[in-house]
């Protein structure tokens, strides 16, 4: 188990102010926004957790006594009453009531520091960017730690003062009549809201919140293969917490724009290639523009409309795994719509050579399809 004091670099008899200063210094140094080291994020989480324990007087007392913040000693014993984890304090609270609200009910003053909320934003990318991945620079409006008071909530040169009602405990005693007679119960102090201290002179910029709303720029790496609805989690990039608390996480939801030339189905891309009727009949070689540049396509003689030519590994990159999908090119055969007189004469000559007979513009016989149908059904 890691030592929280060592994590913050302070001694066991360090004051609350020394612990706070040590945490702020390390948090600014290890925050993922400014430190891209591989272990920076894990160290930042460890430092934040250590501060959450040591900044709470009750949690710190338990940690110093038992060696962990859960209140169980190293030997696994759970206290009195057969080692089942029950203590006299628990029984007292069961019969006489604990305070609710921010004071935590007999567990010391509450901490003003809280984790910030998670945030969700949408980002649009083009299909090409989804195929190969891209770095996107974002501007987001969010809560950041107040740069003036650095999360202390107080005006520079001042500090929170101990509540003169609860004397720093965050709780007050109140008499209550019960079946056992008059007993004293603990309730959250209404004066300090259970924090044990008062912000008498709040920071002018954040009004005592310890954070402000501002716009910041963030560059994210969009991995290849994302699709509409894919979410990327960025740890500690959400809203900053009150009173210098750790930031929440930022979730980026992807939306892929439609492309004028390609349609995505899974990790395959589909496109249409139009070829003239003569090229489809005689065959040809064409260059087709893809996301990977021009690719040669061979149109075999007699290619029919609707045939599909498969270009392997020219589709979308697999998001989880290796390789890419395919690019499927659908052939569309262009038929002349308004042939001139010379073209029409040549087409009729071709039809005659193919055994196709037209009467008043209608095909009445053919050496191809009609001949086969006649042979099969003509004698019925």
Q: pLDDT tens-digit profile of 180-233?
A: 567 777 888 888 889 999 998 999 999 999 999 999 999 999 999 999 999 999
More confident residue, 349 or 299: 299
Q: What is the mean pLDDT of residues 260-282?
A: 94
C-alpha dihedral over 93, 97, 103, 109, to 10 degrees? -40
pTM of the model: 0.61
Q: How many domains does the chain have?
A: 2
The CA distance from 198 to 162, in Å, is 6
| Residue 282 counted as domain residue | yes
| Residue 73 counted as domain residue | no
Residue-wise pLDDT tens digits, 120-167? 999 999 999 999 999 999 999 999 999 999 999 999 989 999 998 888
Q: Are residues 311 and 347 in the same domain?
A: no
Q: Is 203 annotated as a binding residue?
A: yes
Give the 3-state DSSP-derived string for 38-80, with helices as H, strands as E and coil as C.
CCHHHHHHHHHHHHHHHCCHHHHHHHHHHCCCCCCCCCCCCCH
SS3 185: strand
| Residue 320 counted as domain residue | yes
Q: Is 154 annotated as a binding residue?
A: no
| Residue 281 counted as domain residue | yes
The b-or-e profile of 81-103 (16+ CB within 10 A means b, else e) is: eeeeeeeeeeeebeeebbbeebb
Reduced DSSP (H G I as helix, E B as strand, rest coil) percent helix, strand, coil of the chain, to 5: 25, 30, 45
Domain region containing 330: 259-335
| Residue 271 counted as domain residue | yes
Percent of the chain residues topping a pLDDT of 90: 47
52 DSSP β-pair partners: none
Tell me which H or E stretch contains 277.
helix 277-282
| Residue 380 counted as domain residue | yes
Region of 118 please: left (phi>0), alpha (psi -120 to 50) or beta.
beta
β-pair type (362-365, 231-234): unpaired
| Residue 308 counted as domain residue | yes
Q: Are 262 and 275 spatial neighbours (Cβ–Cβ below 8 Å)?
A: no
Tokens 């400014």 appear where?
A: 34
Q: Is 163 annotated as a binding residue?
A: yes
């Amino acid at each position: 188990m890691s030592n929280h004091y060592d994590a913050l670099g302070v001694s066991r008899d360090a004051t609350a102010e020394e612990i706070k200063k040590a945490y702020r210094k390390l948090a600014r140094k290890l925050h993922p926004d400014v430190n891209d080291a591989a272990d920076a994020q894990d160290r930042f989480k460890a430092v934040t957790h250590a501060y959450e324990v040591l900044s709470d007087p009750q949690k710190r007392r338990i940690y110093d006594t038992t060696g962990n913040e859960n209140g169980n000693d190293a030997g696994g014993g759970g206290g009195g009453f057969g080692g089942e984890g029950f203590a006299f304090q628990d029984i007292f609270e069961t019969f006489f009531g604990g305070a609710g609200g921010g004071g935590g009910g007999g567990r010391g003053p509450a901490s003003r520091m809280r984790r910030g909320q998670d945030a969700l934003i949408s980002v649009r990318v083009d299909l090409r960017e989804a195929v190969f991945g891209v770095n996107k620079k974002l501007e987001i409006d969010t809560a950041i730690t107040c740069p003036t008071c650095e999360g202390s909530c107080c005006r520079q040169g001042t500090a929170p003062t101990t509540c003169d009602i609860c004397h720093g405990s965050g709780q007050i005693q109140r008499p209550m009549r019960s079946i056992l007679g008059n007993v004293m119960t603990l309730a959250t102090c209404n004066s300090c809201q259970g924090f044990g201290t008062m912000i008498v002179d709040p920071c002018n910029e954040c009004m005592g919140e310890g954070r402000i709303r501002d716009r910041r720029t963030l560059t994210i790496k969009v991995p290849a293969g994302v699709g509409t609805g894919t979410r990327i989690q960025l740890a500690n990039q959400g809203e900053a917490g009150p009173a210098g608390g750790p930031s929440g996480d930022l979730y980026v939801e992807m939306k892929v724009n439609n492309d004028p030339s390609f349609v995505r189905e899974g990790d395959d891309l589909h496109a249409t290639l139009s070829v003239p009727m003569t090229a489809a009949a005689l065959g040809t070689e064409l260059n087709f523009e893809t996301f990977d540049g021009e690719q040669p396509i061979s149109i075999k003689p007699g290619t029919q409309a609707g045939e599909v030519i498969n270009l392997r590994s020219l589709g979308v990159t697999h998001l989880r795994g290796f390789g890419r999908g395919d690019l499927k090119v659908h052939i569309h055969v262009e038929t002349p719509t308004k042939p001139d007189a010379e073209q029409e004469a040549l087409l009729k000559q071709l039809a005659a050579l193919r055994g196709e007979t037209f009467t008043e513009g209608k095909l009445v016989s053919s050496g191809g399809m009609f001949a086969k149908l006649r042979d099969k059904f003509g004698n019925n």
